[in-house]
A and B are shown apart, each in its own frame.
Chain A
Amino acid sequence: MQSARADVDGPSRGGGAAVAVARPHTGGPLQALSAALDHEATLGYVLVAPVVLILLGLVAYPLLYAIQLSLMDKTIGGDGKFVGLQTIVGLWDSNLYRQTLRNTLVFTAGATILKLVMGLGVALLINEQFPGRKLVRAAILLPWIVPTVLSGMAWQWMFTPNFSVVNWILVHLGIVKVGLPWLTDPNLALFCVMLVNAWRAVPFFGITLLAGLQTIPAELYEASSIDGAGRWHRFQYVTFPLITPILTITLVLSIIWTFSDFQVVYSLTKGGPLNSTHVLATLSYQVGLQTGKISEGVAISLTMLPLLLVLVVFQLRQLRRSGGA
């Protein structure tokens, strides 16, 4: 005990730890501090405190401040005064807000279904053994790694009216006669932002679901094959039930991110054409910072909160049940 202590604290005091603790003044404040830090609970608080303080100051405070702002009528020039629920309730009178809310829900639902289906497909594919599997797995993650707005710009260029490579391919394959107005038609534009959002998240679903698939013991597949189960039945009765926990967690996380997405819409359409692709985050930015109606912008983004809270609570319960928390 004593010799190890001396190593740690340096050779200056011959007394050792026990003496130093008993008479803190001989070891100086540093010694007292290191004794205090050896107390389990104290050390715990000291190590967690910086994270908690940063999150209180720069997440909890801004969130409370957002709620305060949403109860005011602050603009970029003025100070604003307290108006209660007037700003939030006023949103419902706005056609633009109602359309944006609808867009956001359609966007979230559509994109989620797309990435779920494609991601599950990808996971099942790379769960197979084939040459070059590691390389394929690495390549598949690229859309998730690369800055979203940069790949979003590439997609915009692929869909751009006059020189769309997607249209060029479709026309030359004889699938369509003339190119489609991908980003200039309201419905097609909404489809495009969903597709690009899903494109980016397919790797996330693929890799997490793959992890789920790899926990399924091979014996279960062998047993079901012996029982005469076909490929679909194996998926239905073995694979799907066993990956449901991980699938649920991935899905909820993805819904949270999709519902609050900004980058895909901003880089692809900036909310147009005719506001058909505006989502709550992009409208909040446009109203709050570009137009300068700070309170209204904050109120728009805060209307995400109720659904987010439900999802967060659901997620925390799910994690606790699966033993992760």
Chain B
Amino acid sequence: MSAVAPTATSTTRMAGSGRLVDRAISLYLPLLVVLVFLLAPFYWMTITSLKPDSELYNGAISPLVVYAPTLDHFAYLWTKTDFIVWAWNTMFVSLASTAISLFFGVPAGYALARLRFRGADTLSLGIFSTYLIPTTLLFIPMVQVMKTLDLLDTVVGLVVVYPTFLLPFTTWLMSGYFKTIPGELEECARIDGASRIVAMLRIAFPLAAPGIVSAGIFCFTLSWNEFIYALTLITASTERTIPVGVLVQLTRADFYFWGPLMAGALCGSVPVALIYSFFVDQYAAGLTAGAVKG
């Protein structure tokens, strides 16, 4: 036994170093390329927002580093534009739309997964179909509809419209999630005399908490990132959201204020990235379930 052991170790070590080279070529190198490609725009966004104009528009020096970092672009963004208002609007619209979508979508998902009623399958299919209808097909008639409802040019209008693309997803995701939870616990509660609603609220919803968090994160990021409705339903600067505000107010025909623009892009990205970083697993789970389970 003791005579065999060293031989085995040395073979392992040899195989180990060969494997390391192999892995460097087949794994670490491609991984590095992928990371650089996927993250380069964020690096570029960040260093641009910190560079003084004299560095931004100087072709003679390396653009990849910052020589004299400055917060001027952030100061400009926060004091000379309506960015603070846009940030507030975006936060309000995202939270309100998410709340509405969860409030209606989670019980609907529960009903479609658990309760038997005539037409449930058809409704389920219909709701999922609307998830596949792109907003670019609807934005022009939506402008007319919102005009009739007198909801143009106000963030409230966006809170009314956003659930149209959040609800199908939330309902579908939650319906899939409830199907994975065994129904016995609710049945026990019912035998003990709880009504259906109480069984749903007290038993099923707490068990579905991870799914609800997934759906919530999804709704929040989708609302935060929404662009075409925010662009077409709003014209007043003080009612805009970050993506539209940054794009519209910091570009003038052919002239772009790259410093403040990238500062704005960074400030508009950090909140969602931050929230996402706390819920990576739930987000990935929702992404997968959303595509796969539907």
Binding site for B on A (CB under 8 A): 1-5, 8, 17, 34, 37-38, 40-41, 43-45, 47-48, 50-52, 54-55, 58-63, 65-66, 69, 118, 121-122, 125, 128, 130, 134, 136-151, 153-158, 160, 162-163, 165, 168-169, 199, 202-204, 207-208, 211-212, 246, 249-250, 253, 256-257, 259-263, 266-267, 280-281, 284-285, 288-289, 294, 297-298, 301-302, 304-305, 308, 311-312, 315-316, 319, 322, 324-325
Contacts and interface: CB of A to CB of B under 8 A. Distances in A.
A153 B38 contact: no
Nearest to A6: B193
Contacts of A8: 193-195, 198
B134 to A, nearest CB: 3
Contacts of A151: 41-42, 45, 265, 269
Interface string B56-79: 110100111000000000000000
B221 A145 contact: yes
A163 B63 contact: yes
B108 interface: yes
B154 to A, nearest CB: 16
Contacts, number: 307
B294 to A, nearest CB: 5
A50 B59 contact: no
Contacts of A305: 137
B272 interface: yes
A55 B108 CA distance: 13
Q: Which 8 A-B pairs have the closest CB atoms?
A: A4-B193, A260-B134, A44-B117, A281-B136, A41-B117, A44-B115, A47-B111, A150-B265
Contacts of A59: 130, 133, 138, 164
A111 B278 CA distance: 31
Contact of B124 (A136, A156, A312, A325): A325
A146 to B, nearest CB: 4
Contact of B227 (A136, A260, A262): A262
A150 B123 contact: no
Contacts of B136: 260-262, 280-281, 284, 301, 304
Given A8-B198, A38-B195, A319-B294, A65 B41 contact: no
Given A147-B225, A256-B132, A262-B228, A324 B265 contact: no
A306 B135 CA distance: 16
Interface stretch (B2-10, B11-19, B205-213, B239-247): B239-247
A62 B27 contact: no
Interface string B272-288: 11001100100110011
Contacts of B42: 142, 146, 151, 154
Contact of B262 (A154, A284, A289): A154
A130 B27 contact: yes
A47 to B, nearest CB: 4
B167 to A, nearest CB: 5
Contacts of A262: 136, 227-228
A50 B227 CA distance: 25
B156 interface: no
Nearest to A282: B136
A60 B276 CA distance: 32
A202 B272 contact: no
A292 to B, nearest CB: 11
A40 B141 contact: no
Nearest to B48: A157
B105 interface: yes
Contacts of A316: 125, 128-129
Contacts of A137: 280, 284
Nearest to A204: B287
A310 B28 CA distance: 41
Contacts of A146: 42, 225, 269, 272-273
A249 B172 CA distance: 15
Contacts of B31: 125, 130, 136
A62 B143 CA distance: 9
Interface string B118-132: 101001111111101
B138 A149 contact: no
A325 B246 CA distance: 40
29 contacts: A4-B192, A4-B193, A5-B193, A41-B117, A47-B107, A47-B111, A48-B108, A59-B133, A62-B138, A134-B280, A137-B280, A141-B280, A150-B246, A150-B269, A151-B45, A157-B262, A165-B63, A168-B63, A204-B291, A260-B137, A281-B134, A281-B136, A281-B228, A289-B140, A294-B144, A298-B140, A298-B141, A304-B136, A324-B293
